[in-house]
Structure 1
Amino acid sequence: MCNVCTREVVAPAPAPVKPNKALERLKKKHNIVTDPTDEEKQKAVEYQPDLLALSTQFSKLAFDVFKQGLARLQETKAYAIATKTTQPFHVLLAVLVVVAWLARAGSSGSVRGWRALYVGAVATHLGSQIWMTLISGIVLYFSLPRHEFGRVQTVLFPVYYAFNSLVSLLAALAYLRTQCLTRFENTSWIQLALLLVVFSIEAYVRLVLVRPMLRAKHVKTQMEAAAGGGQEVGRLILGELAHCPRYLRVLKTFRAYHSSIAMGTMITLGCSFYSTMILVDSMCH
């Protein structure tokens, strides 16, 4: 065995700490006596942060929180929409037009504002219904493979019914507030009833029917994909699944929910058309 393996390894002694001459001169100049072993003496000479130091620390903390929040905001879809699309400009333009219209001379600004909100909500709701039911749904169904169309509807259905129910509720509240401000002159109780019926149906569809319908659609889509189906456009081809009892039960459940939703959609669309006609009649008086 060599000497390298048998000799004891001695750790090198730590180098002595060199005194800080500048610090020692400062202590002598100001007659500062410190004892590292005396805790009370150490606390007495320890730096105590003043108000400026504390405010700086809190400012740094607030800045870090703001910076982290800004970073999280920049990762959201809302920030991407606001900075990379033209939709915010459209909203801003609409707001400017409404503000300019409210600022013109005429009747009370409060009544005018609520009336504008009521008319805008009714128009927005009807436009959303026409686009989704009569244009977008039909065009996509006859243009995309059935499963691709189903994925689009899975995303749109919850948002569509939530948005429409909120807009219809806003229209009902704005109409009621307008009538309160005008002391119920030329009030159409049928109009108020129609708005409330539309809101009730759409809220029921969103809260009760949409989720189980999407759940059944998800199971149906998985079974169809496993059987190699779902790529046809504008039609349903069952193939081997026509002899699968479980698939037929799932399909029946999906169609029951989907038919109920479609029935509610057509009822609300009819109510919206009638509500628009009442609105037109009120403008003609």
Structure 2
Amino acid sequence: MCIRGVTTGDENDNEMQNQDQHISQDESQYSDVPDAVLNSEMIPDRVKTKIQKAIDKYTDRLNKIDAEPSNNEKKTSIQSAKETDVVAQTVNQFRIFTDFTTKYWETFQQSNAYKILFRTTQPAHVIAIVSVLCVVSAVVPKSDDKINNANESHSKLLSLIYLTSFALHMGSQFWMTFVSGLSLFFALPKRDFSEVQRILFPRYFTLNTCFSITTLVIFLKYHAFHTWNVEISIQIGALFTAFFLELVIRLYLTPPLIGLLSAKVAIEKAAGIGTKVNSHSLGPLENCPHYIKMNRAFRKIHTIIAIGNILTMVCTVIHLNYMAGKICF
């Protein structure tokens, strides 16, 4: 009977393993284990080690749960971040506006009015005539110009518009020509650079034409015809030349350039060329007469536009020199 009542060491180990499994299944009990149990000499050291590891594991898991925010807290923090991110809100609102305008623009492109305005030359002629008439009307003297010009004080608002249009005009010229153009040419593959040019060219010359006519009309308003001397005549000539060149480039040279550029890019994509940076290898199109002829026409128009752009920059620098001489601190 005594032998039956005594348990061996193996049986003790099995019992302890069963206890360990039970403890791992119900880890909530570990938080109530007193220090006296871990310090007791009746429990083997390896069992104490297992109990201590289980307690540490349970404690670490509790700490992680406490440290991690709940789903509601995460949603609240994300929502508050979105609400405080002014840039994100602005971009989102601008995207909504552009989607709205793009939708109606695509609808307008299917109408006959769009075809008449953008696929015929008559609207370009009308815009050119109206623009020149606006400049001429500012030059033609009125009957009371001599009386009013002597006593007229310059409007602060018109002066602000004049300086702003001139500054934006000159800034866009130098940025597009020497910074954006050269940087993109040496950083993008030729085909991607052509796509950028196709988008930027119309906008660039449209904005510059608007800036030019604004600067010219306000300058003419403050310099009546009877007050013109050699210096004023040179400035008016420079401003009018810049405006006229940019108007002609935008109305008569940019549309065929964009058409040729789009056709070139489509052919280059089909031939698999134009994917290298700062490289112009014709590859299989070297013996294609249609592409060669198109490329020559494109280069010819592009060269004329580049020369016109440089001339407008010269005119802008001439007027900048005039303004620098009139500044009084």
Normalising by the smaller structure, the TM-score range is 0.5 to 0.7
Q: How far did 1:185 drift?
A: 8.0
Moved more, 133-142 or 145-154: 145-154
Matched with 1:265 is 309
Moved more, 216-225 or 184-193: 184-193
1:217-252 per-position Cα deviation (integer Å, ceiling 9, x unaligned): 111111111111011111211112111111100000
Amino acid at match of 2:248: Y
SS at match of 2:223: helix
Moved more, 120-129 or 186-195: 186-195
1:178 and 2:211 aligned: no
Q: Tell me the distance in 2 between the aligned counterparts of 1:150 and 1:74.
A: 25
Moved more, 184-193 or 220-229: 184-193
- Are 1:115 and 1:178, in contact at CA under 8 Å, matched by a contact in 2? no
Matched with 1:52 is none
Q: How far did 1:275 drift?
A: 1.2
Structure 2, unpaired ranges of 5+: 1-93, 102-150
- Are 2:187 and 2:278, in contact at CA under 8 Å, matched by a contact in 1? yes
| Aligned counterparts, 1:237-276, within 5 A | 237-276=281-320
1:281 and 2:328 aligned: no
1:76 and 2:97 aligned: yes
Q: How far did 1:115 drift?
A: 2.6
- Are 2:198 and 2:262, in contact at CA under 8 Å, matched by a contact in 1? no
Q: Tell me the distance in 1 between the aligned counterparts of 2:197 and 2:189.
A: 12
Amino acid at match of 2:209: S
1:121-177 per-position Cα deviation (integer Å, ceiling 9, x unaligned): 211111010000010000011111111111111111101100000100000011111
Matched with 2:252 is 208
Amino acid at match of 1:209: L
1:189-208 per-position Cα deviation (integer Å, ceiling 9, x unaligned): 11111111100000000000
Matched with 1:192 is 236
Q: TM-score, normalised by structure 1?
A: 0.60
Aligned-pair Cα RMSD in Å: 2.7
Q: How far did 1:112 drift?
A: 3.0
Compared CA separation, residues 227 and 79, structure 1 to 2 (3 A)? closer
Q: Aligned match of 1:230 in 255, 268, 274? A: 274
| Aligned counterparts, 1:1-285, within 5 A | 75-77=96-98, 110-180=154-224, 184=227, 188-283=232-327
Q: Tell me the distance in 1 between the aligned counterparts of 2:274 and 2:95.
A: 37
- Are 1:161 and 1:205, in contact at CA under 8 Å, matched by a contact in 2? yes
- Are 1:146 and 1:235, in contact at CA under 8 Å, matched by a contact in 2? yes
Larger helix percent: 2
1:254-284 per-position Cα deviation (integer Å, ceiling 9, x unaligned): 1011111101001111111111111111225
SS at match of 1:179: coil
Q: Tell me the distance in 2 between the aligned counterparts of 1:218 and 1:122.
A: 32
Moved more, 207-216 or 117-126: 117-126
Q: Tell me the distance in 1 between the aligned counterparts of 2:98 and 2:316.
A: 32
Q: Which has the larger radius of gyration?
A: 2
Structure 1, unpaired ranges of 5+: 1-72, 81-106
- Aligned-residue identity in percent: 31
Q: Tell me the distance in 2 between the aligned counterparts of 1:124 and 1:150.
A: 25
Q: Tell me the distance in 2 between the aligned counterparts of 1:199 and 1:185.
A: 19
